[in-house]
Amino acid sequence: MKPSSKEVLTVETSVVGCDGGEGALGHPLVFLKVEGGKEAECPYCGRRFALKDGAGSGGH
């Protein structure tokens, strides 16, 4: 199921992984880079991620 186009997940690190969130029915794991003030969108499911205000540029 594709998430609502209005749904934006707020994250605390600049690198996030998305697998579709539906277990075996999801999609391959992809890693996205989220930059401050911008959103990153998963190319498979359209889920969007935004960096939390004041969050660092952490990640691995």
Domain with 15, as residue range(s), is 8-51
Residue with more model confidence, 19 or 60: 19
pTM: 0.77
Q: Are 49 and 7 in contact (CB under 8 A)?
A: no
Residue 60 domain flag: no
Residue 58 domain flag: no
The torsion angle over the Cα atoms of residues 40, 59, 11 and 18, rounded to 10 degrees, is 60
pLDDT tens digit sequence for 12-57: 999 999 999 888 889 999 999 999 889 999 999 999 999 998 776 5
Contacts of 45 (CB under 8 A, 6+ apart): 2, 3, 18, 20, 21, 26, 27
Give the chain's domain count.
1
Q: Output the pLDDT for position 52.
A: 92
Q: Output the pLDDT for position 7.
A: 80
- The domain that contains 41 carries what CATH number? 2.60.260.40
Q: Output the pLDDT for position 36.
A: 81
Helix/strand/coil for 55: coil
